[in-house]
């Protein structure tokens, strides 16, 4: 471990993103490794919220003259972080609602009724996709967790309307070969929908470059938009006029305030909007995205790989008798920004770690996730966390502690 | 007008809700009559938002241990204001999304495919209902604006799955006989869904007493929850297990963090939730609801009727040559908390009023809405606004002013 601690020290000394840590408020005495679940607030967050309340106070309903376009405007600000072009991304609703809208639109447009996904996709995504497929008289084909492109290829045929997967698995942390899988979907005339919840703000995403059709994702993890901050959706420009989502709300109307009797969808990404967006939470989202843009995705990804590599090496260096193993792929190109480890007493271990000020999270039945957020996670945090993990397991602290608290994404 | 000004003065002197005005931040020098579009911020709003950011700062992901139940908890706080019981109301998503969920669930459960509404319902509602009916192979039957119960009765038959109307019309301000219309729907085995956007926090609503099945509504008008604040939905308890909404998100799962492969809806109002709620905007919503509870719906409704009566009398007293007429019903039991007047140059008139510091809103082609919000609108505001309206029309200021700004709900 000594070598790794020295390496961590050098990593922090040489970190081009080091100054960003001071831009966030971090619970004192915590080693926070759960930014993959909920990112931390920028120090400017209070000021930004004061500003938007000030707008509400001063302008009241007239504030809508600038709030109205916020969903599209923040979408355009987010777009470069995920390889989207201007007018292809909107911030709106929650991830699950956005997935429902886009996946439903894909099935309606194709006339096909099969959706392909995998057991490593987020459960909420699977529930929604299953519901959509069944409502259309079709089915959701579920591949094993984290399938290879070849396994995806085997599931494809002319009945498949949509392939929908998480780019980075919420559980294992595996990152998929998005360009390859997208191309396979296209070979069979299916559309490809990526869930970027664990990707946006943490790994390189190139939706336009991949040829992706659709994407959704959340802004409250690596984008630090706040608890439950509004989500985003991406629809490639040439698909805007070909897809119609099922929730025909007024924010998607070509002439929102014309109040015509018939719905006529906007000829832009606006057609995928529904209702009035929560402006105060949207403001928090915008601030999180702004800091990420300032840091730049290349620097973030470079640091993320270095942090997860250090974490994996540190866990690998633990005594095998402690019963810990790394679940996440060891090849950097195949993983996102968290490292999942397995242990037979994972829940108790994660609880013991929290008591010691290390905040990972737990995923049933046997996984602990350590998320690194390059904007505020230090290399020394990684080695300290693993040292504490070693101490917990060596002393058996996880077997003797008080009642565990619940674990929440 | 002199008598009315004196009456306004007495009204303000005797107003049991007068002190509530000081609880809000009101743009100085404005007579704000658009609380039916966007309510105003409580003076405590900045402090509440500071508190929730403080929770995020201190607790990070562990904040979910109390945030997780916020949707149901705020729903229970809102319930008494709309005649709902414990466990029947949840705060979540936006009104249009909630309408989509509940109306879709109603059609699925009934096997019928016709929806009945009226042209006075909010356009976004009509778009969504039309989309749902068509997707089910049925149709939306549209009655004329603001139909009588007898007209609704004529549209009903054994094909009707759902009757969905706005309790108070966004345009005319008419309030419907909700108990009577609900009973008619039930006579034909249809479910009744009320949109309470213009009712919640302004008029007496008794969902359980009416026997209503479903309701949705927004919190950013008379409930002062902030721009785009999360909406609410109501499902009568005995219907929870009978209805299943189409967006099977994890917040609706019986065991949200069990991450089972199959979706199993919660046996409660939670099954109508979808994704992670925007906690910062939810906090603002909660504050708006708390103040309304403190004032009490009876006092609010009593003052609302007195304010709209004064407003109607004042408009009626204007010289007929000015071309203004009252659209909203004169019978208090038949109107909500805004008064719509018509004028052939309504858009220019509303713009001229704004230039003079009176903030109503405009609805194409010929309607100006004056909303009174009993928590902060004074009787003197009403008579002052009508005096300024009279001056604008008498001097022709609306014909000579600078370019109008846009009008936004």
Both structure tokens of A33: 């490794």
Dihedral in degrees, nearest 10, Cα atoms A99, A104, A106, A108: -170
Give contacts of B127 with chain A, Cβ < 8 Å.
248-250, 253, 262-263
| Residue B324 confidence (pLDDT) above 80 | yes
Structure tokens, A61: 């309903």
Cα angle for residues A51, A57, A63 (degrees, 5° grid): 80
Contact call for A62 and B405, based on CB within 8 A: yes
Helix (H) or strand (E) holding B55: helix B45-59
On the question of pLDDT at B333 being above 50, the answer is yes
- The pLDDT tens digits of the residues spanning B161-201 come to 999 999 999 999 999 999 999 999 999 999 999 999 999 99
What percent of chain B has pLDDT above 70?
98
Q: Mean pLDDT across chain B, nearest whole number? A: 96
CB atoms within 10 A of CB A253: 23
Q: Chain B: residue nearest A170 by CA?
A: B259
A144 touches chain B (CB under 8 A): no
Picking from A19-23, A162-166, A340-344, B257-261, which range would have the lowest pLDDT averaged per residue? Answer: B257-261
Question: What is the reported pLDDT for B402?
Answer: 58
Contact A248 B131 (CB under 8 A): yes
Considering only CB atoms, which chain B residues are within 8 Å of A225? none
- Band the pLDDT of A408: cuts 50, 70, 90: very low
- Comparison of pLDDT for A260 and A129, the residue scoring more: A129
What ipTM was estimated for this complex?
0.96
CB distance B115 to B140 below 8 Å: yes
Summarised one tens digit per residue, pLDDT across range A149-170 is 999 999 999 999 999 999 999 9
**330-389 of A, contacting B, C-beta below 8 A:** 359, 361, 363-364
For residue B380, the model assigns a pLDDT of 98
- Chosen for mutation from B228, B283, B361 (greatest number of chain A CBs closer than 10 Å) is B228
Distance CA A129, CA A173 (A): 21
Out of B96, B247, B276, the one facing A128 most closely (by C-beta) is B247
Q: Determine the Cα–Cα distance for residues A21 and A39; give it in Å rounded to an integer.
A: 12
User: Contact, A341 vs A368, CB < 8 A?
Assistant: yes
Write down the pLDDT at residue A409. Answer: 42
Q: What is the pLDDT of residue A402?
A: 57
pLDDT band at B406 (very low <50, low <70, confident <90, very high): very low
**Beta strands B114-118 and B89-91, pairing class:** unpaired
Catalytic residue numbers of A?
122, 195, 220-221, 369
> What integer best gives the mean pLDDT of chain A?
96
Q: What's the pLDDT at B2?
A: 80
% of chain A at pLDDT higher than 70: 98
Residues 6+ apart with CB under 8 A from B334: B174, B175
Taking phi over 0 as left and psi of -120 to 50 as alpha, with beta for the rest, A29 belongs to left
- Extended strands (E) in A267-337: 325-326
Report the pLDDT averaged over residues B93-105.
98
Whether chain A has a CB inside 8 Å of the CB on B259: the answer is yes
- Residue B131 CB-half CA count within 13 A: 30
Closest residue of chain B to A34, computed from CA coordinates: B61
pLDDT value of position B364: 86
- With a cut of 70, say whether residue B243 has pLDDT above it: yes
Across the interface, whether the CB atoms of B279 and A226 are under 8 A apart is answered yes
Please name every residue paired with B107 in a beta bridge, in sequence order, or none if there are none: none
Helix, strand or coil, per DSSP, at residue A194: strand
The model's confidence at residue B408, banded by pLDDT at 50, 70 and 90, is very low
pLDDT tens-place string over residues B207-231: 999 999 999 999 999 999 999 999 9
Contact partners, residue A3, CB within 8 Å, separation at least 6 = none
User: Across the A/B interface, how many CB contacts are shorter than 8 Å?
Assistant: 281
Provide mean pLDDT across the span B310-323.
Answer: 97
- Whether residues B248 and A130 touch (CB distance < 8 A) is answered with yes
* Chain centre distance of CA A323: 29
């Amino acid at each position: 471990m000594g070598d790794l601690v020295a390496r961590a020290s050098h990593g922090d000394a040489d970190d081009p993103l080091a100054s960003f840590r001071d831009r966030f408020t971090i619970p004192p005495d915590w080693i926070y490794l759960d930014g993959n679940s909920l990112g931390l607030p920028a120090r400017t967050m209070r000021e930004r919220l004061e500003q938007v309340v000030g707008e509400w106070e001063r302008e009241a309903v007239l504030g809508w003259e600038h709030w109205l376009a916020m969903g599209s405007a923040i979408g355009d600000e987010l777009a470069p972080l995920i390889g989207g072009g201007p007018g292809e991304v909107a911030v709106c609703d929650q991830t699950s609602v956005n997935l429902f809208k886009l996946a439903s639109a894909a099935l309606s447009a194709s006339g096909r009724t099969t959706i392909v996904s995998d057991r490593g996709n987020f459960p909420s995504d699977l529930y929604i996709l299953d519901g959509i497929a069944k409502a259309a008289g079709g089915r959701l084909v579920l591949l094993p967790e984290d399938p290879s492109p070849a396994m995806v290829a085997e599931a494809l045929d002319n009945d498949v309307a949509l392939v929908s997967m998480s780019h980075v698995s919420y559980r294992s942390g595996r990152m998929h070969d998005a360009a390859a899988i997208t191309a396979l979907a296209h070979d069979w005339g299916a559309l490809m929908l990526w869930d970027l919840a664990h990707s946006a703000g943490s790994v390189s995403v190139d939706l336009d470059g991949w040829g992706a059709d659709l994407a959704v994702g959340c802004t409250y993890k690596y984008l630090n938009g706040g608890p439950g901050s509004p989500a985003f959706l991406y629809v490639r420009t040439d698909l805007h006029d070909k897809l119609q989502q099922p929730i025909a709300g007024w924010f998607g109307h070509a002439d929102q305030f014309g109040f015509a009797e018939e719905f006529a969808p906007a000829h832009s990404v606006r057609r995928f909007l529904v209702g009035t967006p929560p402006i105060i939470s949207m403001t928090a989202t915008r601030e999180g995205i702004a800091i990420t843009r300032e840091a730049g995705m290349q620097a973030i990804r470079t640091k993320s790989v270095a942090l997860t590599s250090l974490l994996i090496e540190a866990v690998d260096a633990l005594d095998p008798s402690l019963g810990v193993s790394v679940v996440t792929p060891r090849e950097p190109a195949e993983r996102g920004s968290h490292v999942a480890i397995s242990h037979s007493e994972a829940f108790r271990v994660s609880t013991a770690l929290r008591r010691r000020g290390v905040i990972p999270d737990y995923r049933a039945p046997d996984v602990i996730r350590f998320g690194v957020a390059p904007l505020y996670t230090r290399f020394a945090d990684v080695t300290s966390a693993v040292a504490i993990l070693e101490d917990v397991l060596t002393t058996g602290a996880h077997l003797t502690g008080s009642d565990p608290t619940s674990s929440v994404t």
